[in-house]
Structure 1
Amino acid sequence: MMAASVVIRKLSSAAAAINVTRWEKLKNSKAGVWCRSLCSDYKEAVWEVVVSIWEKPVKASFYFGLLGSTWACAYTAPDKTSFETHLLECSNRLALLSPWIRSGTSDGHVQNLVKLHNEGRLCHIGLGLLSLTFCNDYNPYANLYEAQCSNLSVPWSLLPRHVLDVGFAGRWWILDSKMKDYDVNVEEFTHLPVHMQTSSSPTVGEVDRNEKLHRDSWVTLKIEIEEKQ
């Protein structure tokens, strides 16, 4: 038993020595030296960042806010599906109104976008922080020479002329601006005099007077019957 334990002890010590030798060889190899120097560089860089944050908290807060804002803009940049969904919602809202009530600007812009979408000419491009929706001259899937020839495609220098909407921070700004007051038809008031085409906000006194008249309208009328002598 004693001889067996001695043999096992010697074998374990030899195995440990072999492992230590392999670890030392790996540590002193070119790959090991490169990894150690890389970790040391990262450690020094992290320490310098921590020291700079501690010494200049305002500057660090500004950079962190800038990075956070950039990430939020990139994360909330709308895609092609969101534009099509928003366009469908705007078209449905206008369809619920009478043609005499809906705004001509809103209706014309939405109808133009729907027409381009049905023709397959609406295109979308993501630029990281924002998205652009623009129109092509032809449907890219059409079997036409003008549509398939790359030399006849819209050059990048003329792309701003074809931009229809800009998506940023989860919104499509041009479509939202066109849909402002979509239920007000300005052309209805063109026959009125100039001083009646625009209205100003009521003053505090006018609001109080209107509220008083509204309250007085709910007061029960008292009718006194005169007795005939």
Structure 2
Amino acid sequence: MQFLRVGGRISALRQRLADRFQMPERFKDTFVEKWVQYWNGLVRDYSEVAVGVVRESYTKPKKALLYGTGMLFLYQAGLNNPDEEAFMTLLRRSTNRMITVPFELQNPESADYLLTLERAINQKKLRLLSLGICTILWVDLYDEDDCTYPAICEYTKVGLLNFHERIIDVGFWNQYWRLKWKMRNYDVNYL
């Protein structure tokens, strides 16, 4: 438990640095001194928080493990968040797989979903909203280049209350899950 004395070590190091570096007389009673005091206070506060977190992790290791695992999961989810390029790659791959199957043997649900996506892309109505750990794919009411009054009026845009109706896919962990779900049985064996 020698690591628990880390708070004393950090405060001693901070005190030694403060003793070594003194403010020149010409900066006394100026905004520079206030600025230095602000940053010193900020560093002191955050170092106290860090020491408190380490101490609490020793007293409650399960809670610390849970928080650490959650933070690592969110970090990895952010790294593996799919973007528009990943969506287009997955869409092309799915379309190419669907093309290899004759039209009569295609699953209508898969074919309709791919057709909906292709129409939204061709009409430039497909939008991506990246939330850091996941990406929402939705269809807008108007083309992104449309300059007519209904397209630019703020009252005719998709509202927050009916936004969920416009969502057509959710991307998470380098996958677009609805596209994957719709393509699971795209050929004659879908029954």
TM range (shorter): 0.7 to 0.9
Aligned pair 1:53/2:57, yes or no? yes
For 1:120-161, what per-residue CA distance to the aligned partner results, in whole angstroms no more than 9, with x for missing partners?
111111122211111122212124332232321121211111
Q: Contact (CA 8 Å) 1:104, 1:185: kept in 2 or not?
A: no
Of residues 113, 126, 129, the one that matches 2:130 is 126
Distance 1:38 1:143 in 2: 48
Structure with greater Cα Rg: 1
Letter in 1 for 2:85: T
Unaligned 5+ segments in structure 2 are: 1-18
Structure 1 CA distance, aligned partners of 2:150 and 2:40?
59
Of the three residues 87, 91, 95, the one matched with 2:95 is 91
Structure 1 pair 34–181 and aligned structure 2 pair: CA distance change class (3 A): closer
- 1:117: Cα distance to partner? 0.9
How far the C-alpha of 1:174 sits from its partner, in A, is 0.7
Alignment partners' CA distance in 2, 1:61 and 1:133: 33
Alpha carbons 1:102, 1:185 under 8 Å: kept: no
- Considering only aligned residues, what root-mean-square deviation do their CA atoms show, in Å? 2.6
SS of residue matched to 2:114: helix
Alpha-carbon distance in 2 for matches of 1:47, 1:56:
14
For structure 1, the residue ranges without an aligned partner over 5 or more in a row are 1-19, 187-197, 199-229
TM-score between both structures, scaled by the size of structure 1: 0.64
RCO higher in structure (CA 8 A, sep ≥6):
2
Name the CA shift for 1:48/1:106 in 2 (closer, same or farther; >3 Å). Answer: same
The match for 1:166 among 164, 170, 173 is 170
Further displaced range: 73-82 or 155-164: 73-82
Distance 1:25 1:110, change over 3 A: same
The answer as to whether partners of 1:141 and 1:147 remain within 8 angstroms in 2 is: no
Residue aligning to 1:111: 115
TM-score using structure 2 length:
0.76
